[in-house]
Structure 1
Amino acid sequence: MTTEPKSGAAEAGRDPEAVSRFVESFAAQLVEAGMQRMAARVFAALLASDDGALTSAELGEQLQVSPAAVSGAVRYLSQMHMVSREREPGSRRDRYRVHSNQWYEAITNRDAVLKRWEQTLRVGVDSLGAETPGGQRIAETLAFFEFLEGELIKLMDRWREERARTFGQGSAGQG
């Protein structure tokens, strides 16, 4: 049985075991999708917390892991633009906050990766020749990524509209 920090599920009247099962289950699914295990656990714990923010000590206590494990996970999640670090008011402790638009940020970050891949693929087509079998495969890959990039832009625009319509301004979890 894990111990919940004061700001966790127990204080909110939730079943700490049920919260822990959710965190571990969702984290496992994120790992299956390619996320690092500890980063997935930290992300799921932050996502499930009432404030969307926990200190390193609270995360370590809830997940039963070392501060170093939390630090590495937070560093990864920060690079992925899924969490941010903020100073706890009146304290020297940092709190880690999940973004309310974490999925948008993660997808947008992938958009930058797609652009770099497209540039490299263009060089590949030029290097191999567009009429060679390898050049044709690379050109098709390039066309797919260009298509995907255009669709992601439209999809993110539609999501912003849907989010505003569904959750409005100042809704719970926005940050």
Structure 2
Amino acid sequence: MTARVLATLLFTEQPSMTMSDLAEQLRASNGAISTAIKMLSSVGLVERQPAPGSRREHYRLRDDAWTVLYTNQNAVLAAMRRAAEAGLEATAADSLAGRRLAEMRDFYDFLLAEIPALLERWRAK
């Protein structure tokens, strides 16, 4: 449902949509839409949009959604890196699990080092 809500907000020509709009268009329950909106909002893809004269909450895809998503994901990447480090402390380095965890840690170290420069290049585009 989250992907369907994201796709709907991505393709709509309306400046914003209410949960009811989304539920009607997707033929889904308000609860399913609400859950999807919460998830998309938590990662920075969707935001509330003021709608003068309306009592309902309106939502839209953020203008800078993709960079915000990537920036917010840095917290997830850092958590994954910490999890790998914690696993390494509890595992023998020469074990299969130790090698997997070291690769995981190194991968996230690489991503965390590269993402800021990538975002700067994107913004300069």
Asked if TM exceeds 0.5, the reply is yes
Contact residue 84 and residue 98 of structure 1 kept, 8 A: yes
- Structure possessing the higher relative contact order (Cα contacts under 8 Å, 6 or more residues apart): 2
Q: Please, what TM-score do these two structures have when normalized by structure 2?
A: 0.84
Question: Quick one: which amino acid aligns to residue 62 of structure 2?
Answer: H
Identical positions, percent: 38
Determine if the alignment matches structure 1 residue 81 to structure 2 residue 34.
Answer: no
- Cα distance in 1 between the residues matched to 2:64 and 2:87: 35
Q: Tell me, what secondary structure is at the counterpart of 1:108?
A: helix
Cα shift at 1:124? 2.2
Partner of 2:75: 112
Question: Unpaired segments of 5 or more residues in structure 1?
Answer: 1-37, 163-175
Partner of 1:42: 5
Poorly superposed stretches of 4+, deviation over 3 Å: 129-134
Question: Quick one: which amino acid aligns to residue 128 of structure 1?
Answer: T
C-alpha RMSD of the superposition: 1.9
- Cα distance in 1 between the residues matched to 2:92 and 2:5: 46
Cα shift at 1:133? 4.5
Q: Quick one: structure 1 residues 64 and 137, their matched pair in 2 at CA, closer, same or farther if it must change by over 3 Å?
A: closer
Partner of 1:138: 101
Cα shift at 1:70? 1.8
- Cα distance in 1 between the residues matched to 2:15 and 2:5: 11
- Cα distance in 2 between the residues matched to 1:73 and 1:53: 16
Contact residue 87 and residue 93 of structure 1 kept, 8 A: no
Cα shift at 1:52? 4.1
Q: Please, what TM-score do these two structures have when normalized by structure 1?
A: 0.63
List aligned pairs for 1:6-85, cutoff 5 A.
Answer: 38-85=1-48
Q: Quick one: structure 1 residues 44 and 134, their matched pair in 2 at CA, closer, same or farther if it must change by over 3 Å?
A: closer
Q: Could you tell me which of 84, 87, 103 is aligned with 1:121?
A: 84
Q: Tell me, what secondary structure is at the counterpart of 1:85?
A: strand
Greater fraction helix:
2
Partner of 1:150: 113
Cα shift at 1:109? 2.0
Count of residue pairs brought into register by the alignment: 125
